[in-house]
Amino acid sequence: MRVLALAEDLIVFISRVWQTTCTALRAGEEGVLIDSVVYPDELSALPEVLERASFPVCGLLATHGDWDHLLARLAFPRASLGVGEATAARLAAAPGEAQRSLRRFDEEHYVQRETPLSLAGAQALPVPGRLELGAGAGAELELHPTAGHTADGTAFWISWRSTLVCGDYLSPVEIPMLAGEPGAADSYLATLERLAALVARARHVIPGHGAPLSPELAQRILAEDRDYVGALAAGEDPPLPVGRRSARQRQIHAANRSALRA
């Protein structure tokens, strides 16, 4: 696991698998985690690292309902979990789906965990909306809808740090992965347009997979992703962006094309 301190109140953890990111954010006497790392040793290290950095963890947030973004409860079982309304509806409609996906991953990779994942009591947050952090600190998170990768999704704009935590968008290591449902490409393009306005104001952009991005790199990836998804929506077979042409990315590309033909 890599640990990057972008500021004294902003730390990013990057998992060894899929470069899944977990963002620790503090305002005043309150701290939250957005998304999660994956492996048990990474999760068990979170409390120790954050305690050394004087980061109180009062709550957990998740950008969407894919299982690899929901594991922070294993590190902080007593912390409340807040998710966008669409994610809360997804978790309620398919109870146990995240746990089953986690179990399949663990069985495939010989991973052992001491405790099961509990997502009970997840709080639905209005999206678009705002969330105050740190009483009296003047710190506010903006919540923006992000559909297209999945039907649910929330990006968090950290106003006082000009930082965007965007979930599974704008990844430097992964091409766009479209939800397997009608209209996913159009939803993805609409999300990129919303994110473009935030990227234009950002000092840091933290994707769900991959290291934090400079504004310049985020702008380049956004343009590449817009061209790629737009070409797919037009029925074309676009080339993969430079630097994202691995065998795994070609598999994702084939799945995207199949989903759009369905």
Residue ranges of the alpha helices (H) in 60-123?
72-75, 85-93, 97-109
Spans in the chain with pLDDT lower than 70: 136, 262
Q: What is the pLDDT of residue 134?
A: 80
CA 177 to chain centre: 13
Residues in the chain, overall count: 262
Task: Give yes or no for a contact between 143 and 62, defined as CB atoms under 8 angstroms apart.
Answer: no
Task: Give yes or no for a contact between 223 and 217, defined as CB atoms under 8 angstroms apart.
Answer: no
Cα separation, 35 vs 12, in Å, equals 10
Q: What is the pLDDT of residue 237?
A: 95
The whole-model pTM stands at: 0.95
Domains of the chain, start order: 2-261 (3.60.15.10)
Amino acid at 131: L
- Look up residue 221 and give its two tokens: 């990836």
